[in-house]
Amino acid sequence: MASIGTIAVRVFTSVARIPIQGATVAFTQGGFGGRQTLLAVRVTDQNGHTVPVRIATPNLAEGASPGGETPFATCNIWTEAPGYEYSVSTGVQIFPGVETVQDIALIPLPEHTQPNPDNTQFSYTTPQTL
């Protein structure tokens, strides 16, 4: 039986940590054949926060014993905002009954520069060793 966890994002500038309003944040999960399933799209508020997204997670009890199911779900977070590099965070973990808040630091682009997918910043969350 599946449980529910939630994830929200806080987006800010990479150096000064100033909140970025109006950033577009897409939440996806990996599917068959490497395809991504879109779970939700959110836009950050004046504080750089998104509204939480509810995500199905494994039941915590099923992951409590060695060799059992992983006790968390994972998702990927795609973030973009005008004037900043793209960001992709993969393997972000969501635990049942817990609200995860993922910080995303966007790197400002030089003035009069358009985002380039080749300059996307990638980050991978290493799975918990429970």
Q: For 84-114, what is each residue's pLDDT tens digit?
A: 999 999 999 999 999 999 999 999 988 766 6
Close Cβ partners of 129 (under 8 Å, ≥ 6 residues apart): none
* pLDDT given at position 122: 59
Distance of CA 21 to the CA centre of its chain: 17
Mean pLDDT of 24-53: 93
- Helix (H/G/I), strand (E/B), else coil: 80: strand
Give, in words, the CATH class of 3-120.
Answer: mainly beta
pLDDT at 23 over 90: yes
